[in-house]
Structure 1
Amino acid sequence: MEQEDRRSRRTRRRFARRQWARRWLSLRYVVALVAVVALVATAVWLVFFSATLQVAKVEVVGNQLLSDARIREVADVPIGDQLALVDLARADARVGSLAEIESVDVTRTWPDAVRIEVVERTAVAVVELAGRIRGLDAEGVVFRDYKTVPRGMPRIRPGGAAGTDALKEAATVVSALPEDLATRVDHVEVATVDQITLVMRDGRQVLWGSAEESELKAQVIDRLMAAEKALVYDVSVPGNPTVRETAG
């Protein structure tokens, strides 16, 4: 009888352990679900409501022409707003609209900063417009002022019929020139988009034509001027360049 009681107690204990194991298995999933919900709620609170992840500063890198303050002003990133909610595309578009900016990348830097990285335009020539000396980049974009023409930088002189397209063509020509050749150019005369002439500092002229095949033309004129002395060089058709001793 006593032996049966012991077996019965052992059976009940085993049954109780199995029951507890089953309950713990079910409870484990509930605990895990509660933990996940708590983690998600904490993350949402941190990202969208906590002062820890609010914008505290706006970093600006890559700029020389424009001041940090000017770029921050245009970007208009609100200090104190939640970093996750900052409209990066809007700030990117605003900074990218500045004439001095060639490209811009606006990103979040966790936990509390927005980073604005810019690439500014580089002048390849200058042009006088309305009494101001303006710099042009390789795409013909006018983007800055100069008090005087920088040493070694070619000037572009547009004719009365030359519009913005002609300026762009002239800038393309200048940007294709090797540096040693570009520094010898006094100015670039632009009558139309396909009538571009380089006037060298020693008075020699290079009839360039349009901006098409500018890299090839630059190679041809570099060799031609080294091989032959003349007043006028015509590389408008780079496969058949000519020279002559008189202008006109």
Structure 2
Amino acid sequence: MSTDSMERTLERTRRRFIRRQRTQRWLRWRAILAVAVALLLVAGAVWTVFFSSLLAVQAVDVEGTSLLSPAQVRSAAAITPGDPLARVDLARIEGRLMALAPVKDVEVTREWPDRILIVVSERVAVAAVPVGSGFKGIDADGVLFRDFAAQPKNLPLIVLPDDIGQDAMKEGADVIAALPTELQARIDHVEVESVDGISLVLDDEKVVVWGSAERSADKARVLDALLNAAPRASTYDVSAPGQPTTSD
């Protein structure tokens, strides 16, 4: 091979090497650029979601209330308008709302792009309890949660000692909730002395010794039979539904 040919070959080889070097450098810089762009996009998204006012709380919607007003729920929720929606502590809001006596359950969710939705499940009164000069509604969990100026005509009355415990209150509410409608209609009031010291006083002043809320469905069936079999009795004891007794 002549000297000129060798020089041309070396020159072509050098140029190919330079082109490969340039290509490799470009590929490296393109990868670095792609990573940088991706990081900028992620940083921008994080800033937009967690720190900017673009996705901030603009409104709080409340559903499911009748005892509480939406304004009362919003006040208790204490959500600050303008806070980034993604940073709102939903669990803490739910905890604040569960402290409201009428609230049995609550669910707080984000409604993108700029709203909070609060769905409330309120307690339902199964009986009324005399308290001071008025009455309070008690639910099936034994929670006193609402006020009545007068005894509601559609709710049975539960009479409780001043020092009654939460367990006994719940037992009394459980008894009321377990009674069939026709038997509830005959009740003047329910007296709760303790967890297993519950009695029903009927509208004709007959007394039913009930005991605890355990086996209330069986006790209701036994009482219905006793009322038909011994209509003149003044006291019916169904605390042991397998061995009921009556007395004049």
- TM bucket (normalised to shorter chain) is 0.7 to 0.9
Give, in whole Å, the separation in 2 of the partners of 1:160 and 1:8: 107
Which residue in 1 is equivalent to 2:229? 228
* Amino acid across the alignment from 2:90: L
Which residue in 2 is equivalent to 1:82? 84
* Amino acid across the alignment from 2:58: A
Give, in whole Å, the separation in 2 of the partners of 1:183 and 1:20: 94
What value does the CA root-mean-square deviation take over the aligned residues? 2.7
- Decide whether the 8 Å contact of 2:134 with 2:151 is kept in 1: no
Task: Mark the CA change 1:133 to 1:9 in structure 2 (over 3 Å): closer, same or farther.
Answer: same
Deviations 1:204-241 (A, max 9, x none): 4321012233344334434x257534333221012222
- Decide whether the 8 Å contact of 2:189 with 2:200 is kept in 1: yes
* Amino acid across the alignment from 1:208: W
Give, in whole Å, the separation in 2 of the partners of 1:41 and 1:193: 60
Give, in whole Å, the separation in 2 of the partners of 1:15 and 1:160: 97
**Which one of the candidate residues 97, 100, 113 is aligned to 1:98?**
100
* Amino acid across the alignment from 1:175: A
Give, in whole Å, the separation in 2 of the partners of 1:227 and 1:191: 28
**Which one of the candidate residues 233, 241, 245 is aligned to 1:242?**
245
Question: Is there any run of 5+ residues in structure 1 with no aligned partner, and where?
Answer: none
* Larger mean Cα displacement after TM superposition, 26-35 or 177-186: 177-186
Corresponding residue SS for 1:188:
strand
Give, in whole Å, the separation in 2 of the partners of 1:39 and 1:219: 70
- Decide whether the 8 Å contact of 1:162 with 1:193 is kept in 2: no
Pairs aligned (count): 244
* Amino acid across the alignment from 1:36: A
For residues 175-194 of structure 1, what are the structure 2 equivalents within 5 Å?
A: 175-194=177-196
- Decide whether the 8 Å contact of 1:195 with 1:208 is kept in 2: yes
* Amino acid across the alignment from 1:147: A
Give, in whole Å, the separation in 2 of the partners of 1:38 and 1:136: 57
Which residue in 1 is equivalent to 2:207? 205
* Amino acid across the alignment from 1:49: F
Structure 1-normalised TM-score?
0.84
